[in-house]
Amino acid sequence: MVTEKPILRGLFKISEGRLVWSGKWAMSSQKFKEGEKSKFKFIFTGDFGGDKVEAKDGVYKGYFLLKDASADGGYTKVPEKKVKLKFVKIDDAEMFEVEGTGSNKFGEFKLQGKYDPKSNKMALEKEYKQAEDDEDEDGEFNADVYDEEEDEQIDDDGDDIDKSEELAKLNEEANMSVEELRKRYYGGSAANEEASEGSSSKKAKTDE
């Protein structure tokens, strides 16, 4: 039985001397087309100099946002640890095949896809490690993961990807437990609700 795999589509760029890959992800190619997607971001941890955008073999670290109605802001940030990527040029083509591995709180996973050095866009499928008797027999790369028409919609969102504070958070969160992460992203919800109610009460009295 063939199951849908999470898909990540993003753009490589340089931010404050660091190589960054960021974009949007979805639970499947179909979900991506339907607009059910969220942000992700990875930073190359190796030495990188110059101002030329060029994908590198090595270790990346980052996170993806997961929709969560109970979380403050509607999203939970899920750190991804020791993501290793390898780029292999396809013979007689401008494209590179990409393979990788990594892990997060949901388990270990492998990555497979393509990188286009002309546009600096990369599209990868993510497959989580399963028990041997539950593995998908059809493990071949789905060509639909790299859809030029869909990838044209990838925007350079320009969020706080360049900030040193964000880099510090990535380092910190990479070593935090799930409980600590939940406390960080869920802990402020109740306080925010109380503050909001208090503000509403004061406004009501003023109106009277």
- Which of 91-95, 98-102, 130-134, 198-202 has the weakest average pLDDT? 198-202
Share the mean pLDDT of the chain: 76
Q: How many helices (H) and strands (E) does the chain have?
A: 5, 8
Is residue 33 within 8 Å of 149, Cβ to Cβ?
no
134-154 pLDDT, tens digit each: 444 444 444 444 454 444 444
Per-residue confidence (pLDDT) for residue 17, from 0 to 100 = 86
Q: Would the pLDDT of 98 be above 60?
A: yes
pLDDT of residue 49: 73
Instruction: Between 34 and 156, name the one with better pLDDT.
Output: 34
Identify the pLDDT of residue 174: 53
Sequence-ordered alpha helix ranges (H) in 49-187: 148-151, 164-173, 178-186
Residues 62-88 pLDDT 10s: 999 999 999 988 999 999 989 999 999
- Least-confidence region, from 26-35, 49-58, 166-175, 194-203: 194-203
pLDDT score at 187: 52
Confirm if 31 and 16 have CB atoms less than 8 A apart: no
pLDDT tens-place string over residues 101-138: 999 999 999 999 999 999 999 999 999 988 554 444 44
Q: Given this model, what pLDDT does residue 136 score?
A: 46
Note the pLDDT of residue 48: 80
What does the pLDDT look like over 2-23, one tens digit per residue? 578 999 999 999 988 899 999 9
Nearest to 77 by CA among 61, 65, 60, 67: 65
What percent of the chain is predicted at pLDDT more than 70? Answer: 61
